[in-house]
Structure 1
Amino acid sequence: MIDLHTHILPGIDDGSQSLETSLKMARIAVADGTTIMACTPHIYPGLYMNHSAGIHAERDKLQLALNTYGIPLRLVVGADAHLVPELLEGLKTGRVPTLNGSKYFLLEPSHNVLPPGLKTLFLTSWPQATYPSLPTPSAWSGSKTTTANLSPWPSAVPGCN
């Protein structure tokens, strides 16, 4: 099994805050059948100042610890990228990583309201061959940003999940 959305890297966002917690999370994942896990910390300028090089470095440290402790889990890089003005440029330059270097990335739009013009942005400005995936649509329950609001997107945006 592959887990595409985790906050397992210690101390770099609101997920795990220690190596011990990350190792515990990894052991639970392996016990549940996970063999590959995407490390997807938040990228949110001003709050979580993560970037591709830093995420890779933290993933490498945690992978070494997993190997040392005999935890059979392969870590890959990704990010939970918040919708901010810098996102498009970050994707184009590689500062915002895609899921394991693929054409997909996790997009975290506002939990309160779907930004005006977002669909047009995807259709006209998105980096070629890069597709957003929504990591936590359940977090939007009770808000104006719901999966129902996004339901027409797969037909409008090729590759949109």
Structure 2
Amino acid sequence: MIDIHSHILPNIDDGSENMEMSLAMLRTSVASGVTDIIATPHVNRHGVIPAWQTIEEKAEELKRAAQEQQIPIRIHTGAEIEFNGDVMRFLEKGSRDYCLAGSPYVLLEFTDQTQPDIAEHMLFALQLRGFWPVLAHIERFPQILADKERLLSWAEKGILYQCNAGSFTGYFGPKCQTRVEELYHNGLIHFLGSDGHRVEFRTTDLREAHEVLDKLAAKEKKESLWQQAEANAQFILKGRVLYPDVPQKWQKKKKGFFSRLFG
């Protein structure tokens, strides 16, 4: 698996507190079957924009430490960028600073205040600058998912969606789990990430999610999202454009017998 969303760099955001914790998080990733992980520290949250050079230097330090500890994982640089007007100021055309693994893909985080109409104009403006937007943990933003037609339209125009593996296990609550299952049912999850922050909570452990996804695939008799997301993430590492299939219309999830009976 390729984990495209993590906060493993030490002492740069609300993720890992130190090198020891970062290495423990990497060991957990390896135990989960992760071969590659993209470090995506928060950028532009509360107006704080770490220098790209700082992110690269911390990633190199972590790579050296992981090699010394013989932790078999490849670490790539990136960022999770809060999506507001400042983004247009520091994501400059032709630059790959703050992008995922040196590619044109850029991981963008909405907020509870994000307005879909405004976001749409900004997303397409970024595309005109040559960036390929990936929306982080899209299942956490009901105001975005409320407009199904817009969600499908964005995907048709090249906007891609990442979901947190923990959403499938219920870690982020039942409402978030319901939304991620709806996205899964409609084939609108392109990438998975741990969004790992610490070792005590919000970890990089993907094993439970892997089991849930395999059970869903077996139930529906199709390829597991685990494998699909890994294959899609290869496009990021190779800097290639991903053209996923997009459903023509939103399919409502069928209710079970008792849900239909009791509403």
Indicate the TM-score class for this superposition, using the shorter chain for normalisation. 0.7 to 0.9
Query: Percent of aligned pairs with the same residue?
Result: 31
Q: TM-score, normalised by structure 1?
A: 0.85
Q: Which residue number in structure 2 is paired with residue 51 of structure 1?
A: 51
The within-5 A match list for 1:26-45 is 26-44=26-44
Q: SS of the residue aligned with 1:49? A: coil
Check whether the contact 2:96–2:102 (CA below 8 A) recurs between aligned residues.
Answer: no
Amino acid at match of 2:106: F
Aligned Cα RMSD in Å?
A: 2.1
Distance 1:82 1:68 in 2: 33
Q: CA 1:16/1:48 → structure 2, altered by over 3 Å: closer, same or farther?
A: farther
2:112 is equivalent to residue 111 of structure 1: yes
Question: Which structure 1 residue ranges, 5 or more long, are not aligned?
Answer: none
Which is worse superposed, 94-103 or 23-32? 94-103
Deviations, residues 127-156 of structure 1 (Å, cap 9, x unaligned): 43211101211322xx4233745332012x
Deviations, residues 14-65 of structure 1 (Å, cap 9, x unaligned): 1111211111110010111111110000101545432321110110011111
Q: Which residue number in structure 2 is paired with residue 25 of structure 1?
A: 25
The within-5 A match list for 1:139-158 is 139-140=140-141, 143-146=142-145, 148=148, 150-155=151-156, 157=157
Q: What is the CA distance between 1:67 and its match in structure 2? A: 0.7
Check whether the contact 1:53–1:95 (CA below 8 A) recurs between aligned residues.
Answer: no
Q: SS of the residue aligned with 1:72? A: coil
Distance 2:71 2:126 in 1: 41
Q: From the two aligned structures, give the one with the greater helix fraction.
A: 2
Q: Which residue number in structure 1 is paired with residue 159 of structure 2?
A: 160
Which structure is richer in relative contact order (CA contacts within 8 A, separation 6 or more)?
2
Which is worse superposed, 117-126 or 35-44? 117-126
Amino acid at match of 2:122: L
Q: Which residue number in structure 2 is paired with residue 64 of structure 1?
A: 64
The count of aligned residue pairs is 157
Check whether the contact 1:27–1:71 (CA below 8 A) recurs between aligned residues.
Answer: yes
Q: CA 1:14/1:127 → structure 2, altered by over 3 Å: closer, same or farther?
A: farther
Which is worse superposed, 119-128 or 100-109? 119-128
